[in-house]
Amino acid sequence: MLGTVGDLPVKLGPLDAIPPGFRYRIKDVLETLPAAGGVLEGVSLERLARLVEEGEPWLGADPSLAEIGYWMLDPKHAVELRRRGCVWLTMFPSVETVTRLAALANDEATPQPVREQAVWTLGYRQLRAMHPSTQWPSEAVQLADETLVKLADLATTAGKVASEQLPQALRHVQWEGAAAVFARAPGLWGEAIECFASPALARVLLVCLEDIPPQHRMRAIRLVGAVLGEEAVPMLLARAAQAAIDEKLEMLFMVVTLAGEAKLGMLEDALRGLKFIDLLRQRAKWHLQHRGIVPTVRGLRVARATAVIPPADRAAKCAAAADDLGALTKFARHPEAYLYGMWGWMVRGAKDPARARELVAAHPESQRLVRDLYLEDLARRGRVKQLTAASQTLQGADLGALHLAIWGRPLAALELAATARLHTPELVAARALACYRAGRPDLTDRILGEDLPPSEIVDDESLKPFPGPHEQWLIERVPTSRPALAALAKGRGAVISLAKPAPEDAESDTPSIEPIKAIVRRLGRGLPGSTVYLAGEFKYVDKDKLIAAIEAAGARLVNGPFPGTDYYVHGDWCLVQTIAQLERQGARRLRNGELEGI
């Protein structure tokens, strides 16, 4: 494949490793990016941002796509396009990528936003939502570490950290070279101190703890204990006598973890008169049962390195890290909110609904991060009301409806499906399965024959019938990624095979049959009271006659492809994007004979 942006060719491979829908979107984005020096804004910026956000799980599968990022870095481009190039290259860790980003980070002439983003990408060793094949080569890690430590060394010599991103990037660095720089000025690098340290650095931190800014001191205490073990106990006890109460308790908990029951009396003295003393005692008991373990540090060491860990080992390590990051929240909330985000990504890496439940119980704000796993857990446990509420709040009514249909609550599934904003494969599969389980297999057959979801756009010519090339690619390559796709493509038997028995203690189903009536009305395709949009240009069809026929049928014309539109009439010519938008919103194309004039 050869695309051209401005006057520079961007040479790409065949892109067989990514779904066809994203191949199309890549081409679409390349065609809209500004020429040399042009400002990246408006539609072009929005499409690029959406491609990165939605394509992140797939794009890293094809290393040739790094060429797009290399092209974006060119100094002839505007600052924002260059910065976005650094973001793009996060998905393609390699020696070449690191070499180019290191040149930007080391050059003081690089615009600050670009330099900052280059620094962050050099440190970013997390996998998060990126393609599973993404892995940092050891040579790239070493080169990136050397670059970041060189920048840190310059900042230490200057006595000031001017970069906002450098300390955060350095939290990922495991190399002792970083520890040596931090040891020269521990107070300066408080923000970079988190889960990696050499014994030498840990000893410096222990001696110079009061030099660490207060907002970073708790992390330093945990890190010192995790690295030095019992060696740290005497100094921690000495420091605890003069420390503020939160730091004092953390030090004493660390002492109990490292030295055991013999030091429990000192902690008990400190707890006397405090609120929530029972929870604090329970935490002490946990530490006694897990001698020598500092769970937050251990969990972060995995969370900061998932893109370095071999793919085959990630799920197990993420599961263990999720448990570590949640271990102490049974007794108190994490003092640093970002830890819940790290915990959430470990839950997603483990792909475990039960662990998603534990995270949400400790931190309800994390529901959105682990939405799919959380909804699955609620459905497996038969929590119908909670699932319905969460699905609507998290804009996942289609997925929630499918889970309800799978786990034996078909009427509740149809009721929830009626609130969905988009006509997705999950929504259609939910309706088809729910109708079957509600005793209406005739409606299941009609849904599968007449009301399938739209396919993804793969070219500018037309919207292909479902399943299109994009869906077929997913079904063949990663059939478990979206079970609804394969079930709809294979037909009634495959949809029915999704069903599982309801849990014994599941909440009861919705008592009303009104949700079934809503499906009957949709499949009945009645025009009275509906809304119709005329999509595209009408050169050969008499538009006035169409409008008169729409009004005569009792329908109402709308002047845009708005959400909630019931039908559309395809003009002599219309943008594929407009048709896709209409069908994703649930609008159906009026067929021949349903309206006079078409």
Indicate the domain borders of the chain: 2-92, 193-369, 373-519, 525-589
**pLDDT given at position 35:** 79
What's the pTM? 0.94
Cβ contact 415:515 at 8 Å: yes
One digit per residue, the tens of pLDDT, for the chain of length 598 reads 334 444 445 778 889 999 999 999 999 999 899 977 899 999 999 999 999 999 999 999 999 999 999 999 999 999 999 999 999 999 999 999 999 999 999 999 999 999 999 999 999 999 999 999 999 999 999 999 999 999 999 999 999 999 999 999 999 999 999 999 999 999 999 999 999 999 999 999 999 999 999 999 999 999 999 999 999 999 999 999 999 999 999 999 999 999 999 999 999 999 998 888 999 999 999 999 999 999 999 999 999 999 999 999 999 999 999 999 999 999 999 999 999 999 999 999 999 999 999 999 999 999 999 999 999 999 999 999 999 999 999 999 999 999 999 999 999 999 999 999 999 999 999 999 999 999 999 999 999 999 999 999 999 999 999 999 999 999 999 999 999 999 999 999 999 999 999 999 999 999 999 999 999 999 999 999 999 999 999 998 889 999 999 999 999 999 999 999 999 999 999 999 999 999 999 999 998 888 876 6
In the block, residue with structure tokens 């995790």 = 226
**pLDDT given at position 597:** 66
Cβ contact 367:390 at 8 Å: yes
Q: Phi and psi (nearest 5°) for 402?
A: -65, -40
**pLDDT given at position 9:** 52
- What residues contact 295, with CB distance under 8 A and at least 6 apart? 323, 324, 325, 327, 328
Q: Which residues of 384-421 are buried (b: 16+ CB within 10 A; e: fewer)?
A: beebbebbeebebbbbbbbbbbbbbbbbbbbbbbbebe
Q: What 3-state DSSP class applies to 46? A: helix
Exposed/middle/buried for residue 338 (C-beta within 10 Å: 0-12, 13-18, 19+): exposed
Superfamily of domain 525-589: BRCT domain (3.40.50.10190)
Task: Pick the closest to residue 304 from 162, 467, 136 (CA basis).
Answer: 136
Pairing of strands 567-570, 531-535: parallel
Q: Phi and psi (nearest 5°) for 485?
A: -60, -55
Alpha-carbon separation of residue 319 from 13, 392, 401 (angstroms): 35, 28, 27
Pairing of strands 2-5, 8-11: antiparallel
**pLDDT given at position 7:** 43
